[in-house]
A and B are shown apart, each in its own frame.
Chain A
Amino acid sequence: MRKRKKEHYLFILPSFITLIFIVIFPTIFLWYVSFTNYDLSMGWENKSWIGLRNYKYLFLEDKDFWYSLRISLFFSGFTVVTEFGLGLLIALLFNRRITGKRLWMSFLIIPMVITPSIVSLIWKLMLNTEYGVLNYLLSLLSIGKINWLGYENALWSLILVDIWEWTPFMALILYAGLQALPQEPYEAALVDGASSIQLFRFITLPLMRPIILISILLRAIDSLKMFDIVYGLTQGGPGNATELMSLHIYRLGFRHTNWIGRASANAVILLMIVTLLTTVLLRIMKRESGEEY
């Protein structure tokens, strides 16, 4: 009897131990480094414990830290809301009888599965001021050249690329949600003479609530940690116009300065923001799966 009770360890432990070693241990190490003055140019044994000084530096002296936090939050908020809105419209467009629907939907997959670093290159090519195809197409509409990746516009261009890449994600998930809706409430409401806007507002949206929350949180988490697209498109520049949180960590730790201690402190802050959102997301997912059974 005792033996049977412990049988599940055999299945669970291999992954569990692996994850402790490759995720938990390194994360603790990251926290530790964030309390030291370690710098890549010094020997590991020369570093010393400096308590919260790295955090103090970020909060009190590093204006670029606050800037990167601000634009990261703005970038995530703006892209997620826009992608949700557009995604919902696209999902509704597809939510009816269409010939060749599967084929059309398969085109939506392209932006989100192709290698993100390559995505940034494609857009870099298209956004080039002198010979990019975007300015060419605009010139056909007699709109003058736009310096897409200049200081003023770079963040908006980044937002544009993100919207291109991830709106289909929202659309596909919301479409799946629409397809899974039960028919009965609609029939009942139609009998009562509800308009299609009322149907959407009072039946579709409430029933879709969990899926909407899950998709928004998944996107928000992903866009807060984003590194690849920005790196390929602008490397955080010009100046620090597109220096999102991940890029600021990169600059502190690896680029000009080798302040690994400060970079670690910043990474810990990013980790805490992401963990906060993850906690909310998982709580919703847990509640939903609880209701399912």
Chain B
Amino acid sequence: MKTSKNKIQGVVFDILIGVVVLFCLFPFLWMFLTSFKTRVQTIDPSVWIFKPTLENYQAVFQKRDLLLYIKNSAVVVSLTTLTSLFLGTLTAYGLARFNFSRKEDLAYWILSLRMLPPMAVVIPFFLLGRFIGLLDTHILLVIVYLSFNIPFTIWMMRGFIEDIPRELEEAAWVDGCSRFQAIWRIIFPLVAPGLAATAIFCVIQSWNEFALAFFLTSFNARTVPTTVTFFLSVLGVIWGEMAAVGVIATLPVLIFALIVQKYLVRGLTFGAIKS
């Protein structure tokens, strides 16, 4: 009796998981479908099976110049990620391996910077950018994005470095390595997976960022998320093209996220929760 009751319960729970999965997946799936519809089909939600067309994808590259936005995003994302990995990992090592007064206060102060609201960051950067003529340049976005990427990198990498036993490094020192040689030969290969995961998180965060890019760029340095402004009008939105932009913008992020799935909780909580 008891086992059959448990079985029924198990089936009910499985169905509930199916509902959750479907709920998470459906909006993305719907966007994917819409991106292959003709203009008439996009305004008929009863069309689920149809002959796919690529005209929306053609249109966003030819009419909307999506390639320029992708290029801008790629430049900004890669530069800000590389810079914060370099600066952040250096600091993470300093926090992981040295003891100095008020070390934890410093670490938590750095983390607090990660929480700044974009609207509080955007006003001074907009004004300063205007004064020195840096508005609408890649470099301004690269710099602003460091404000959340560096604290993030420091916190992630500190955890990864602390996971490596000190003794390994000390053995290398005894063998005559300098501190930097030991970092390069011992620490670096061991934290490589963590470094890669951290890099991917920086890429995702920077690729997805909207508010700062929206206010600090106007034409030349526009990034992919700002393309939503094409589709804000109430009337005459070309839903097919909108969906095509959406698919192109989100597919790379989804693939990246699946790669770092193992570290996801760690990344979402800045290393506070290690699973």
Contact = CB atoms under 8 A, between A and B. Distances in A.
B118 interface: yes
B196 to A, nearest CB: 17
Contacts of B110: 15, 19
B45 interface: yes
B250 interface: yes
Contacts of A98: 14, 17
Interface residues of A, number: 98
A19 B112 CA distance: 12
A30 B226 contact: no
Interface string B46-71: 10000000000000000000000000
Contact of A253 (B91, B123, B228): B123
A12 B106 contact: yes
Interface in A1-52: 7-8, 10-12, 14-16, 18-19, 22-23, 26-27, 29-30, 33, 44
A32 to B, nearest CB: 9
B270 to A, nearest CB: 8
A260 interface: yes
A55 interface: no
A15 B154 contact: yes
A264 interface: yes
B91 A11 contact: yes
A15 B88 contact: yes
A262 to B, nearest CB: 11
Nearest to A97: B10
A264 B113 CA distance: 18
B218 interface: no
Given A93-B17, A108-B24, A118 B249 contact: yes
B119 A115 contact: no
A159 interface: no
Contacts of A15: 87-88, 90-91, 110, 150, 154
Contact of B119 (A7, A132, A250, A275): A250
B207 to A, nearest CB: 7
B43 A114 contact: no
B117 A289 contact: no
Chain A interface, >50% SS class: helix
A33 B121 CA distance: 13
Interface string B119-149: 1110111011001000000000001101100
Highest count of chain B CB atoms <10 Å: which of A93, A105, A214: A93
A228 B147 contact: no
Contacts of B254: 109-110, 113-114
Interface stretch (A57-65, A76-84, A176-184, A186-194): A176-184
A27 B115 CA distance: 13
Contacts of B232: 232, 235
Interface string A141-159: 0000000000000000000
A270 B113 CA distance: 14
Given A121-B242, A126-B30, A33 B124 contact: yes
B231 interface: yes
B273 A211 contact: yes
Interface in B209-257: 210-211, 214-215, 224-226, 228, 231-232, 237, 239, 242-243, 245-246, 249-250, 253-254, 256-257
Given A172-B265, A211-B273, 19 more contacts: A11-B95, A12-B91, A18-B87, A19-B150, A22-B144, A33-B127, A98-B14, A108-B20, A109-B264, A110-B28, A116-B210, A117-B228, A122-B30, A126-B30, A172-B268, A227-B119, A232-B210, A271-B116, A274-B116
- Top 4 closest pairs, chain A to chain B, by CB: A11-B94, A225-B117, A176-B275, A136-B45
Interface of B: 13-14, 16-17, 20-21, 23-25, 27-28, 30-31, 34, 42-46, 87-88, 90-91, 93-95, 98, 100, 104, 106, 108, 110-113, 115-121, 123-125, 127-128, 131, 143-144, 146-147, 150-151, 154, 179, 204, 207-208, 210-211, 214-215, 224-226, 228, 231-232, 237, 239, 242-243, 245-246, 249-250, 253-254, 256-258, 261, 264-265, 268-269, 272-273, 275
22 contacts: A11-B94, A12-B95, A14-B91, A16-B91, A27-B116, A98-B17, A109-B264, A115-B224, A116-B208, A122-B30, A164-B23, A173-B265, A173-B268, A221-B115, A224-B117, A227-B119, A232-B210, A232-B228, A246-B118, A267-B117, A270-B120, A288-B272
